Structure 1
Amino acid sequence: MSAIVHLAIPAGDLGKTVKFYTDVLGCTLGNGEAGRWVDVNFWGNELTLHQSEEKLPVVRHDVEMGAVLVPHFGVHLTQADFDAVKDRIAAAGLSYIDEPYRRFKGDKYEQETFFIADPNNNVLEIKSMVNPDMLFPDA
């Protein structure tokens, strides 16, 4: 088995949040316990959504090209998958926190990225690298 990241997060209304991950992002479901938690196949990683009352606090941190929301998590997608997610977000009539934009233009780390929140305000960064092999070239 390859190295798979596992992340468990508060989902708020589990049913509503599951619909976001499946209907909007296009993820599939795995194991779960009805009304309590469910595993989401987050592009090959295990994201576990837990029914909850709480939301995580979110703040902005200054980085190159602006201030990003922390905490956040995300995924690197092919350009085709990235564009498909953007299309599903538009079809669902959802708003971005930070609209899609390009970072590191002309650099080996060039990427298109955006930030969006799930229904429980968990912040996601979705990106597509122009040169994905350059992310960790010595790996």
Structure 2
Amino acid sequence: MSNCLHLAIPAGDLNTAITFYCDVLGCKTGNREEGRWIDIDFWGNELTIHQSEERLPTVRHNVDMGAVAVPHFGIHLPESEFQALKQRIEKAGVPYLDEPYRRFVGTEYEQETFFIEDPNGNVLEMKTMVTPEVMFKVN
């Protein structure tokens, strides 16, 4: 598990957050300190969710698809996993913060993306790219 991203966020109630990340998103748990924090395997990255009272503030920044919430984090998934994730989210009744949207249509950067919030208001952007190999292509 080298070169993985580690991100620690306030999660509100840990049990509620674990249900969201594991039962809805399909992630697995790892190391933990009971009642304080737990590691989530976020598609090969270490997301540490902390028991908390606070929520992170968000603002909106204008991009081509509208004003998106910042800060946010997320994952790039293959198309089939992305569509399966959308189905799990919709089945669980998790509302979209920003509805699925196709960006950069007809270009090598074409992607579908959507935004949701976890139970503590942390914003997640989930996306799939038509040609993921160009993600960091230098123009």
Shorter-chain TM-score bucket reads: over 0.9
In 1: Cα distance, 2:63 partner to 2:95 partner: 22
Q: How does 1:55-66 map to 2 (within 5 A)?
A: 55-66=55-66
What corresponds to 1:74 in structure 2? 74
Please give the per-residue CA displacement for 1:99-118, whole angstroms capped at 9, x wherever unaligned: 11100000111000000000
What residue ranges of structure 2 are gaps of 5+ in the alignment? none
State the one-letter code of the partner of 2:5. V
In 2: Cα distance, 1:108 partner to 1:10 partner: 36
In 2: Cα distance, 1:61 partner to 1:135 partner: 21
What corresponds to 2:111 in structure 1? 111
Q: Give aligned pairs, total.
A: 138
What corresponds to 1:49 in structure 2? 49
In 1: Cα distance, 2:13 partner to 2:48 partner: 14
Once the 2 structures are TM-superposed, how far is the Cα of residue 63 of structure 1 from its aligned partner?
1.4
Give yes or no for contact 2:65–2:101 (8 Å, CA) kept in 1: no
What corresponds to 1:3 in structure 2? 3
Identical-residue share of aligned pairs (%): 65
State the one-letter code of the partner of 1:102. R
What corresponds to 1:26 in structure 2? 26
Once the 2 structures are TM-superposed, how far is the Cα of residue 62 of structure 1 from its aligned partner?
0.8
Confirm whether residue 17 of structure 1 aligns to residue 17 of structure 2.
yes
Confirm whether residue 91 of structure 1 aligns to residue 91 of structure 2.
yes
Please give the per-residue CA displacement for 1:108-129, whole angstroms capped at 9, x wherever unaligned: 1100000000000000000000
What corresponds to 2:132 in structure 1? 132
SS state at 1:97 partner: strand
Between 1:64-73 and 1:46-55, the stretch displaced more is: 64-73
State the one-letter code of the partner of 1:56. L
TM-score calculated relative to the size of structure 1: 0.96
What residue ranges of structure 1 are gaps of 5+ in the alignment? none
Please give the per-residue CA displacement for 1:31-58, whole angstroms capped at 9, x wherever unaligned: 0011110000000000000000000111
TM-score calculated relative to the size of structure 2: 0.96
Query: Over the residues paired in the alignment, what is the CA RMSD in angstroms?
Result: 1.0
- Structure 1 ranges of 4+ moved more than 3 A: none
